[in-house]
Amino acid sequence: MSKVLVRNYLGEKTFGYNLPCDYDTASTFCANNLDGLYEIYEAKETIDKGEADGTKVTVTGKNAQGNKHTFSFIAKSTFNEDEIKTALKNKTFNNVRFEEVYIIGLKF
């Protein structure tokens, strides 16, 4: 599906809208609904470059002093728990060196 970005200029303010339509439909929408000036930008290709299938991972890491940090990310679906733990072990996030890594959430 095509996507367009609309920039709407109202005086000193600028607003941006993403619309899931083609240029002609967006032009009609803007003419009927928006005040002020507007510009419409259409993507040349509709390729989604994101990871099609991923695993949402939530981890908590703990250092020797007992400080903890928790965060989430999307991992490739081919990674297993051991590979994720190994990749994060002894890395520092938010000033916490992950000496111990706990996976507290794994959603496929």
Amino acid at 32: N
Q: What is the pLDDT of residues 83-106, one digit of tens each?
A: 999 999 999 999 999 999 999 999
pLDDT tens-digit series, residues 44-75? 765 556 656 789 999 999 999 999 999 999 99
Q: Dihedral of the CA atoms 49, 50, 54, 60 (nearest 10)? A: 140
Domain spans, the chain: 4-42, 54-107
The pLDDT value given to residue 77: 87
Mean pLDDT to the nearest integer, 15-22: 90
* CA atoms of 42 and 98, how far apart (whole Å): 44
Q: Where are the beta strands (DSSP E) in the chain?
A: 4-10, 13-19, 37-42, 54-62, 68-76, 92-93, 96-97, 100-107
Q: Residue 83's closest CA among 101, 65, 108?
A: 101
CA dist 106 and 108 (Å) reads: 7
From CA 81, how far away is CA 59, in angstroms rounded?
10
